[in-house]
Amino acid sequence: MAEQLFPVFDVPDIDIQGQEETRPYKPSVYFDFETGDFRMDSAYRMTVSTGQEAYIQWCRKVVETERDAYMAYSTDIGIEWESALAESDGAAVESALEKTITEALMVNVHTEYVKNFQFSRSADELHIAFTVKGKGWEEATISSNFSI
């Protein structure tokens, strides 16, 4: 029998997803949602947030951004809140918002789960609060208001 011209060997499996999950949370600049600007110290330097604070801020920013409304963001960023608010009744609105928020936050490999949605309404505003858990951290409650 003739020997093979090229060597034959098994290609090892590479666990790419496992590598992504071990990346640490990166710090970022702290964004103040109340003022709508970055938080500054007394010397007008941007304040740095921890990795956990940056993750929670990312979650809140995703929830408050309409998907596909801004060319600067990919289609993975934001929720479809305008179409959710256009649903026929209150239960359908809550269900659509819960679904789109969960899907948007689960895109991040660091998100373990999103649950415990609570909704309350006033005359022209819908208040949403929910729990999100990042891997390696305790649960955090995020809340947001939508004009209706």
Q: Is 58 helix (H, G, I), strand (E, B) or coil?
A: helix
**Residue 23 counted as domain residue:** no
Opening angle at CA 122, ends 117 and 123, nearest 5: 140
Amino acid letter at 124?
D
Structural domain including 116 reads 28-33+44-147
**Residue 127 counted as domain residue:** yes
**Residue 12 counted as domain residue:** no
Residues 18-61: tens digit of each pLDDT: 555 555 678 889 988 888 889 998 998 999 988 889 999 999 99
**Residue 57 counted as domain residue:** yes
Output the pTM of the full model: 0.77
**Residue 54 counted as domain residue:** yes
Domain count, the chain: 1
**Residue 7 counted as domain residue:** no
Place of tokens 């007008």: 44
Residues 72-119: tens digit of each pLDDT: 877 778 888 888 888 888 889 889 999 999 999 998 888 999 999 999
Q: What CATH number corresponds to the domain at position 96? A: 3.10.450.40
